[in-house]
Amino acid sequence: MGVFSPPTSTMLRLKWVSLGVALLLLVQWSTPNVDAAGDNMFGEDVVQQQQRRGSCDPQRLSSCRDYLERRREQPSERCCNELERMSPQCRCPAIQQVFDQSSEDLSMVDSHSQNAAGNQRRREERGREEAEEEMVERAQRLPNTCNVRQPPRHCDIQRHSRYSIIGSSF
């Protein structure tokens, strides 16, 4: 044996230590990450975590539909309470979904009147567009109208046109 070769028992110890370190790393990497509260597993972001728990459920804001659809001048107390309890990360996405549902319902009513005469149909279409525009404004201002304390107090609500062409390149 040469001067620079360690004894066999030292080589054996190094192999066992290396194997032990490798196993510890493997166990560490395969263990899910859990935050201090113990409920954020697998690196979920806050919105995914709250959706899993149901706190982002737009159905919680169903009481806000009457206000968005102009059947009420002010949002109900229940609507505002649910909005206040909802996490800030979920608030605007949930309002967007409630808006989308209300907008679909408005479009369904409009589609039933397609057989009306030309002028009447145009007036109904203008009325529907005005109603939808007011719904957008109400949805955007809903957190502020309810005096929600935490931001966001204004939501960027997207109006989805039923006439949009998917995949077009104009």
Residue 33 lies in a domain: no
Residue 12 lies in a domain: no
CATH code for the domain of 63 = 1.10.110
Residue 39 lies in a domain: no
Q: What is the DSSP string of 110-130?
A: HHHTTTS-HHHHHHHHHHHHH
More confident residue, 22 or 161: 22
Checking if the pLDDT of 167 tops 70, the result is: no
Q: What is the pLDDT of residues 110-138, one digit of tens each?
A: 555 555 566 777 777 777 788 889 999 99
Residue 124 lies in a domain: yes
Residue 161 lies in a domain: no
Residue 30 lies in a domain: no
Q: What is the rounded distance in angstroms from the CA atom of residue 123 to the CA atom of residue 126? A: 5
Range of the domain at 141: 46-145
Per the structure, the count of domains in the chain is 1
pLDDT value at residue 15: 83
